[in-house]
Amino acid sequence: MQYCDNLCKPFEFKGSNRKAVLLIHGFTDCPAKIRMIGEFLNKKGFTVKGILLKGHGTDIKNMDKATYQNWIQDAEKGYKELKKKYNYVSIIGFSMGAILALYLGIKYDVNKIVAISPALVLKNKKFIFAPMLKYFMKYNPHQTFKEEFPKEACDYNLNYYIEYNQIPIEGLCNFIKLEKIVKKDLSKVICPIFIIQPLKDELVDVKGAKIIYEKINSKKKKILWLKKSQHTCQLGPEKQEIHEAIYKFLKIK
């Protein structure tokens, strides 16, 4: 398989304790975007596994062959592989990965969930027309983070900021289907959950984090509102705060 970058490859680092964490990246992203969290938690003793969702991290044309069912299968496979070896398995998902983490929380006995910038409600309302747009265009180009936010980019670890520079419309349709499936069953999530949501998020509406918080039936739930970061907050100016907050949440029984 030809990857866009070596950091696009899936990763797994064995830890020193009996706790494992599955990390799931976002739409058009790759494991690079959640790798720093994995490396941090691994140093704290956790076994971490970052998966690569079908169609991602290689060639954007591969997104045309990927469905939301494939992404669910990838997430389930990663979870089950860890569950065979570890009794304590938590999930960290970023953006669409957070939606997949919630799906696993609906279907399985997950220990804990960390949802970073959960993409339950997209800011760009034009995306609702994706099912029609796919008949007229395959890809929608978009600027890189550095091009769109040149001032803010200096505060982000851009070495890990690897993504496709276009939005595959067919893939977007599948993303929207996944959102709808998870949204209607949020009440089935009962495990402890930690939501991390940047207030300056340029891609997802912050009300999505509020909907998740209100609809889940977890007895232990909290939201960390970030004031300085944008969507990919785990690579930005508050990344250290995020790392420490996640570790604190996961280490408590």
Name the residue among 232, 212, 200 with its Cα closest to residue 29: 232
Predicted pLDDT at 141: 86
57: left (phi over 0), alpha (psi -120 to 50) or beta: left
Predicted pLDDT at 146: 87
Question: What is the block-wise mean pLDDT of the chain (253 residues), using blocks of 10 residues?
Answer: 88 94 97 97 97 96 94 98 95 98 97 98 82 81 86 92 93 94 97 98 96 97 97 97 97 77
Answer whether residue 1 is part of any domain. no
Predicted pLDDT at 136: 82
Check: CB of residue 14 under 8 Å from CB of residue 45: no
Domain harbouring 185, CATH code: 3.40.50.1820
Check: CB of residue 150 under 8 Å from CB of residue 125: no
Predicted pLDDT at 20: 97
Answer whether residue 220 is part of any domain. yes
Number of structural domains in the chain = 1
Answer whether residue 90 is part of any domain. yes
Predicted pLDDT at 73: 98
Where in the sequence is the domain holding 153, given as residue range(s)? 6-251
Answer whether residue 208 is part of any domain. yes
Report the DSSP pairing between strands 47-51 and 11-13.
antiparallel
